[in-house]
Structure 1
């Protein structure tokens, strides 16, 4: 795995983790579908200037056949990713309403197990060292997130379904990212996600401009950074990377959310949570060290 890919995925996890505060505050003013829809449109709009600049820079030397072939993959990939993102993020936001934050973080991060399991059916080879890293990271997540008695409820089921769809989302990105321009696919993804949110937003909620104005700061943070920047980094960073390893790195989101709460909000970081962070970081290092050359050959 190339260092720049790892850096992009770690940055993605960092932004997602620190955006947890923005998402929580935003829910004080807006419903889950409204919040996800508006922030998705903001994320897509934030990428339009980037696409224009990149397009001008790459205008010369681009063949018509190549552009035509990539356009089909771009539209299909962006649409599928957008619909998956809409379903996963909606289930996550709904699930948080019926569950604790700790359990929500733990269950959502179950994609670190689901991705390699689904990868078996897609002929994505996952070595023993990656499975060992998954077990280590899962243990770390438990220490990090679960501080109360674990009982399965309605919210937990919704969160698990969201984690399952997030896993499919990661695998779809793994397929399309080497075939399309990452920024363009991310932009299409956000507009599709925003458009899919419109119907449930007006049917189930009562979106008001005044409420959006009150929550403008968390909306901008979640829209520009969490959507526009982080999801674009995910698409570009996942290019030619083992999706199982990518999911492990992205699971650091839980660590960064706890650390951000400790540093920014002054929340207490217990010994148990510290041990969880250490185990998760150790899992990421374990996934990177052995068999690195083989993986680079296999995934480019």
Structure 2
């Protein structure tokens, strides 16, 4: 079992590295396409890449008895619309914001959803732990150093990424609510399709779309759609079969670290001393929020305090 857990943890680390590289692909995609066109095409590609898994995974789900209408197809439609709508807003804010900030900043600020999720959970009657509040304070302090200037202004791109982090957190909560009720692959394919359709509708309304530009952007589109969305999501499902839930959240929070590394290697992005300190505080806050509960569980104490 320990060998399986180690393999799962290593696979999750690979996923974090892939998702970190996704921010570089998103920056490169903007050289050819508008943000909504890029998202529309890459999420369409991601949805299509899951089609073989949907066809192979014909296992029936238990009858659904929740707030959504009963019946597999209708529940999937409603779930796909809800999750896809949240994904569309989060991905749109992220893609527009990354045009005005660095891949590293976008990765770290987006990663704040790890801290935001348990705080938003209060609206569902969940009580955040002391570690969550401590993590939130550390993450907020890091965000201040990373994004707020000496004149107490925040960059437009960083602001969009911060707003987007709340929608990513809401998306995580939605998926947590929907996933026990719906087939995981069908839900993912549906939400990616909804996000793609909404993005393309917006793109046709405000952006100039040409086939030549889409073909020219085949590398960032391929990475963002097939590798970052299709492959990485599928591997996440496989990895989480044997991974500890706390390990999953902690390892995937390294996405921001990899975004900064890939941004430095491929985009020549450099963080100053203030930015590096901010990133360290944000990462510490994310880890603190996740590890606190794990430590208390190991000690046999309740996680909320």
Shorter-normalised TM-score: what interval? Answer: 0.7 to 0.9
Q: 34, 38, 44: which one pairs with 1:35?
A: 38
Structure-2 separation of matches of 1:32 and 1:265: 18
Structure-1 separation of matches of 2:153 and 2:244: 33
Count the aligned residue pairs: 289
Deviates more, 1:184-193 or 1:69-78: 69-78
Structure-1 separation of matches of 2:299 and 2:51: 38
Q: How many Å apart are 1:290 and its aligned residue?
A: 1.0
Structure-2 separation of matches of 1:63 and 1:119: 26
Q: How many Å apart are 1:92 and its aligned residue?
A: 1.9
Structure-2 separation of matches of 1:202 and 1:100: 27
Give secondary structure in 1 for the equivalent of 2:51: helix
Q: Compared with structure 1, are the counterparts of its residues 203 and 270 closer, same or farther at alpha carbon in structure 2 (3 Å cutoff)?
A: closer
Structure 1: give runs of 5+ residues left out of the alignment.
none
**Is the 1:177–1:235 Cα contact (8 Å) retained in structure 2?**
no
Structure-1 separation of matches of 2:122 and 2:99: 33
Q: Compared with structure 1, are the counterparts of its residues 200 and 65 closer, same or farther at alpha carbon in structure 2 (3 Å cutoff)?
A: closer
**Is the 2:30–2:99 Cα contact (8 Å) retained in structure 1?**
no
Q: Does 1:259 align with 2:264?
A: no
Give secondary structure in 1 for the equivalent of 2:204: helix
Structure 2: give runs of 5+ residues left out of the alignment.
65-69
Please name the residue that 1:290 is paired with: 295
Please name the residue that 2:99 is paired with: 97
Structure-2 separation of matches of 1:265 and 1:99: 12
Structure-1 separation of matches of 2:63 and 2:176: 23
Structure-2 separation of matches of 1:128 and 1:234: 28
Once the two structures are superposed, residues 235-257 of structure 1 have per-residue CA deviations (whole angstroms, 9 ceiling, x without a partner) of 78789x99999766544221111
Structure-1 separation of matches of 2:81 and 2:45: 17
Q: 217, 226, 233: which one pairs with 1:215?
A: 217
Q: How many Å apart are 1:28 and its aligned residue?
A: 0.2
Give secondary structure in 1 for the equivalent of 2:31: coil
Q: How many Å apart are 1:51 and its aligned residue?
A: 1.8
Give the CA RMSD over aligned residues: 3.9
Q: Compared with structure 1, are the counterparts of its residues 269 and 152 closer, same or farther at alpha carbon in structure 2 (3 Å cutoff)?
A: closer
Please name the residue that 1:194 is paired with: 196
Structure-2 separation of matches of 1:123 and 1:245: 24
Deviates more, 1:81-90 or 1:229-238: 229-238
Please name the residue that 1:158 is paired with: 160
Structure-2 separation of matches of 1:130 and 1:24: 31
Deviates more, 1:264-273 or 1:283-292: 264-273
Please name the residue that 2:20 is paired with: 17
TM-score, normalised to structure 2, is: 0.76
Q: 113, 121, 124: which one pairs with 1:122?
A: 124
Give secondary structure in 2 for the equivalent of 1:291: helix
Structure-1 separation of matches of 2:263 and 2:13: 18
Q: How many Å apart are 1:94 and its aligned residue?
A: 1.9
